[in-house]
């Protein structure tokens, strides 16, 4: 068999290699594509765990941290928000504030709205160390499993 053109020679010499090279490049492209898809799916796992898993299996904060939460500055706007949010999560709350009338109103509001125990301790932290002793006595009278201390003002 004689070769009449260079194109025919090159085609016959390199055709088996070209077919193998094209096949190899195809499989390499498929492998890269599958790897990228797997990486993308793997990167979704933290998001699924963060956003969907808690809805499937709610976490009981009171089991994890304790039944009671103590909130100082409870009648301020931030303290009120802390108290209501913790009560909504199922915590019984001890409210500490220097505003006694607002304290009683808030305790009764939280008890009726969230069906948790709530009571207030009237204390003014500007009075010094004696206030801490009174708070300690009030907290130690009950067997409180205190898991959260929310300080809304300094």
Give the residue from 110, 120, 108, 72 showing the smallest Cα distance to 89.
Answer: 110
Check pLDDT > 80 for residue 48. Answer: yes
Q: Is residue 1 part of a domain?
A: no
Q: Is residue 47 part of a domain?
A: yes
User: How confident is the model over 131-143, as pLDDT tens digits?
Assistant: 888 888 877 766 6
The CATH number for 114's domain is 3.40.50.720
The vertex-60 CA angle with 57 and 66, nearest 5°, equals 160
User: How confident is the model over 77-118, as pLDDT tens digits?
Assistant: 888 898 999 999 889 898 988 888 888 899 999 999 999 999
Structural domains of the chain, count: 2
List the domain range (segments joined by +) for residue 25.
Answer: 6-56
Examine the domain organization and report whether 118 and 68 are in the same domain.
yes
Give the residue from 116, 115, 70, 114 showing the smallest Cα distance to 96.
Answer: 70
Examine the domain organization and report whether 68 and 110 are in the same domain.
yes
Examine the domain organization and report whether 78 and 35 are in the same domain.
no
Question: pTM of the entire structure?
Answer: 0.60
Q: Is residue 105 part of a domain?
A: yes
Dist CA 87 CA 95 (whole Å): 11
């Amino acid at each position: 068999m004689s070769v009449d053109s260079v194109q025919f020679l090159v085609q016959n010499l390199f055709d088996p290699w070209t077919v193998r090279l094209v096949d190899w490049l195809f499989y390499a492209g498929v492998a890269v594509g599958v790897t990228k898809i797997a990486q993308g799916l793997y990167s979704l796992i933290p998001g699924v765990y963060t956003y969907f898993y808690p809805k499937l299996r709610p976490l009981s904060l009171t089991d994890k941290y304790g039944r009671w939460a103590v909130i100082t500055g409870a009648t301020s706007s931030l303290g009120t928000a802390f108290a209501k949010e913790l009560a909504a999560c199922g915590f019984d709350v001890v409210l500490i504030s220097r505003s006694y009338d607002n304290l009683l109103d808030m305790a009764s509001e939280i008890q009726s709205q969230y069906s948790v125990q709530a009571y207030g301790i009237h204390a003014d932290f500007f009075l010094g160390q004696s206030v801490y002793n009174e708070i300690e006595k009030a907290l130690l009278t009950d067997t409180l499993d205190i898991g959260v201390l929310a300080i809304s003002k300094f």
